[in-house]
Amino acid sequence: MLSLRPAFAMMLAFGLAVPAAAQPAGVTINVWSFGFGPKPLHLRAGQPVTLSFVNASGSNHDFTAHSFFANARVVSGSAPDGEIDLKPHETRTITLVPRAGTYKAHCSHFMHKQMGMQDDIVVD
């Protein structure tokens, strides 16, 4: 009976272990007038991630990354036309599985990109 304890403990440990990839990680993207953070945004390819876009400003902004969203598999939420639109002080989330690559992101509002609202998304 004593020889069954280690085997039982091992089965229990493996049975209850949840691989890290099964749990979406959370990343917060801060949005303000006129910037994004973190810069650059680093993600892991093939790993589910929940992106939370937090608009800290009193103005509308968006996070436009057409190629990034087109190449990712969206699990929940949406990015219509490759954009996350944010009203003042709004938070929106999207869960996705990104594909490896380097992508560009920016705010598409007039002159916002030129004023610093641009970022790189590095997925490796």
Distance CA 46, CA 100 (A): 8
The two beta strands, 73-76 and 118-123, are unpaired
Size of the chain in residues: 124
Residue 52 reports pLDDT greater than 70:
yes
The span from the CA of 66 to the CA of 70, in Å, is 6
Identity at 83, one-letter amino acid code: E
Q: Of the CATH numbers 2.60.40.420, 3.90.650.10, 1.10.10.10, 2.160.20.10, which one belongs to the domain with range 23-123?
A: 2.60.40.420
**pLDDT over 50 at 1, yes or no:** no
Least confident piece of the model among 2-6, 21-25, 54-58, 93-97: 2-6
Query: pTM of the full predicted structure?
Result: 0.80
Which residues, listed in sequence order, are joined to residue 63 by a DSSP beta bridge? 84
Average confidence (pLDDT) over 42-48: 96
Average pLDDT of the segment spanning 103-121: 97
Structure-block tokens of residue 64: 């436009």
- pLDDT score recorded for residue 91: 98
In the three-class reduction of DSSP (H, G, I as helix; E, B as strand; rest coil), residue 12 is classed as helix
Instruction: Strands of the chain (E only): list them.
Output: 25-32, 35-37, 41-43, 49-55, 61-64, 73-76, 83-86, 91-97, 101-106, 118-123
